[in-house]
């Protein structure tokens, strides 16, 4: 499969049925798995043999789909989680513990911002946020003796800033820690962060990968490129014996290619149980089979709509990285020459009231907290997710009251533009 292009991998990677076996991946709807002897079972519990014993840790359906996502990102090992939140928590907590420090881009998904700055803080993990556009000096100055990971999003949700992956990877590696990149918005069809130096990639598969607004899920992919043993003093969880598995040293027993995901499955999945259901994994795979066909259309619609909006007198500003003139245009074209995603944000003159009237007048675009699925949807942060903020607080956060986030779906771009046009006319009236 590794010789094929990403288009073919979207359709066929991860699962190769044998003679007479199901063509579509089977949903293994079973919590448990049968063994003939206790010795056989014991080998699994000692991580001496590979196999399934309980779906809280691993399930074959999930592993077929994880293997596909692993192939798409060019990783060495991968796993599915119950949500994108679980994926980012596991990816960080697999190498951080009480007393650790994270360097993270300040421009990240609100849920991840809360996870790191509030919930992980309660576990004793601290964070320094940096502007994704900061200089190398500012970035290097954020590191501490106890820094264990660097985190950012390829295209941030909802700020739509673009991460300079090479800059962040260089700084992470200079300090002996891995770079974790959340690649949810571009998907591996448009960007493969591992090729630019990222060590671990995460996804909210809830977004474009599923692509139909049908199943919440997440994924973690390890590049296999980070040399844990070369920095053994920083990563005792991977480089010293695990008492809960008879003293196994993950980085020795499973090597650079397998240590991270094996530890994440056998410790974090065992103890937290944030597994994706096999039914959801099956639905996710249906989405993946057409990801390479859908992403170009999302991008085509996104750019056409951004260009249209930019020319409208009611629109103060349009934020879309692939729109010429955008602050992140050059970075976007470097990492994503074929397009990024279909999500746009723009500010309407007239603030909250104008945004509300505009969105009420839209016929195709529904008001939702979701993004990145087949149906176009929109949201005004000032009256929904950021409702409790005052006008001044909204401006300080870079989310003016008249800002609308629009996720362009797979409809015809002419219909989308016509819908926006009639809604703008309604605001004008």
Ligand X SMILES: *Cc1c(COP(=O)(O)O)cnc(C)c1O
Q: Are strands 77-81 and 147-153 parallel, antiparallel or unpaired?
A: unpaired
> Nearer to ligand X by C-beta: 148 or 405?
405
Q: Which of residues 239 and 378 has its CB atom nearest to ligand X in the complex?
A: 378
The residue among 204 and 319 lying less far from ligand X, judged by its C-beta, is 204
Minimum Å gap between C-beta 186 and ligand X is 10
Q: 219 and 81 in contact (C-beta within 8 Å)?
A: yes
d(CA 52, CA 322): 44
For strand 179-182 and strand 200-204, is the pairing parallel, antiparallel, or unpaired?
parallel
- With CB under 6 A as the contact rule, which of the stretches 81-89, 116-124, 245-253, 301-309 interacts with ligand X? 81-89
Instruction: Tell which positions 140-159 bind ligand X, by CB under 6 A.
Output: 153, 157
The 200-204 sheet, strands edge to edge: 77-81, 218-222, 200-204, 179-182, 147-153, 101-105, 126-130
CB of 210 to ligand X, least distance (A): 9
115 binds ligand X (CB under 6 A): no
Tokens of 1: 């499969």
84 belongs to the binding site for ligand X (CB under 6 A): yes
Binding range to ligand X, per CB under 6 A, among 108-116, 246-254, 305-313, 400-408? 108-116
Question: In 3D, which of 44, 55, 118 has the Cα closest to residue 85?
Answer: 118
CB nearer to ligand X: give 68 or 207.
207
The closest alpha carbon to 51, from 73, 68, 36, 65, belongs to 36
Which candidate, 339, 355, 347, places its Cα nearest to that of 301? 339
Interface pattern 190-209 for ligand X (x via CB under 6 A): --------------x-xx--
The helix (run of H) or strand (run of E) holding residue 353 is: helix 351-361
- From 78, 160, 216, 379, residue interacting with ligand X (rule: CB under 6 A): 216
Asked whether position 83 contacts ligand X by CB under 6 A, the answer is yes
419 binds ligand X (CB under 6 A): no
Collect all residues with Cβ–Cβ distance below 8 Å to 15 and sequence separation of at least 6.
25, 64, 67, 68
| Residue 187 lies near ligand X (rule: CB under 6 A) | no
Residue nearest to ligand X (CB): 84
Cβ neighbours around 160 below 10 Å, total:
25
105 binds ligand X (CB under 6 A): no
Q: Is 95 in the site for ligand X (CB under 6 A)?
A: no
Q: Does 265 bind ligand X (CB under 6 A)?
A: no
Site residues for ligand X per CB under 6 A: 83-85, 109, 111-112, 153, 157, 182, 184, 204, 206-207, 216, 218
């Amino acid at each position: 499969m590794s010789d094929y292009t990403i288009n073919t991998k979207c359709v066929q990677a991860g699962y190769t049925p044998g003679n007479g076996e199901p063509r579509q991946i089977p949903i293994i709807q079973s919590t448990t798995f049968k063994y003939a002897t206790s010795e056989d079972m014991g080998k699994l519990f000692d991580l001496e043999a590979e196999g399934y014993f309980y779906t809280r840790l691993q399930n074959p359906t999930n592993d077929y789909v994880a293997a596909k996502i692993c192939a798409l990102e060019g990783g060495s090992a991968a796993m599915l989680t119950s949500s994108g939140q679980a994926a980012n928590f596991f990816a960080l907590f697999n190498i951080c513990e009480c007393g650790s420090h994270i360097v993270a881009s300040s421009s990240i998904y609100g849920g991840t911002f809360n996870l790191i700055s509030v919930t992980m803080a309660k576990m004793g993990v601290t964070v320094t946020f940096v502007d994704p556009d900061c200089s190398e000096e500012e970035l290097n100055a954020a590191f501490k003796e106890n820094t264990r990971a660097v985190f950012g999003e390829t295209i941030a949700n909802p700020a739509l800033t673009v991460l300079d992956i090479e800059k962040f990877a260089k700084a992470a590696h200079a300090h002996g820690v891995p770079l974790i990149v959340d690649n949810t918005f571009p998907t591996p069809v448009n960007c493969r962060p591992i090729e630019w130096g990222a060590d671990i990639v995460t996804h909210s598969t809830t977004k474009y990968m599923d692509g139909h607004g049908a199943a919440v899920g997440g994924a973690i992919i390890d590049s296999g490129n980070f040399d844990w043993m070369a920095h053994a003093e920083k990563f005792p969880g991977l480089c010293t014996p695990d008492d809960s598995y008879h003293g196994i040293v993950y980085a020795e027993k499973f090597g650079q290619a397998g240590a991270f995901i094996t530890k994440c499955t056998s410790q974090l999945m065992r103890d937290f149980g944030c597994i994706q259901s096999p039914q959801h994994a099956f639905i996710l795979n249906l989405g993946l089979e057409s990801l390479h066909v859908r992403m170009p259309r999302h991008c085509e619609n996104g750019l056409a709509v951004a260009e249209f909006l930019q020319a409208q007198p009611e629109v103060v500003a349009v934020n879309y990285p692939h729109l010429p003139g955008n602050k992140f245009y050059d970075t976007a074209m470097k990492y994503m020459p074929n397009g990024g995603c279909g999500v746009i944000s723009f500010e309407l003159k007239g603030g909250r009231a104008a945004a509300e009237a505009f969105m009420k007048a839209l016929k195709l675009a529904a008001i939702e907290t979701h993004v990145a699925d087949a149906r176009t949807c929109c949201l005004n942060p000032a009256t929904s997710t950021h409702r409790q903020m005052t006008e001044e607080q909204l401006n300080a956060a870079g989310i003016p009251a008249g800002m609308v986030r629009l996720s362009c779906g797979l409809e015809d771009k002419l219909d989308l533009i016509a819908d926006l046009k009639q809604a703008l006319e309604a605001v004008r009236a």
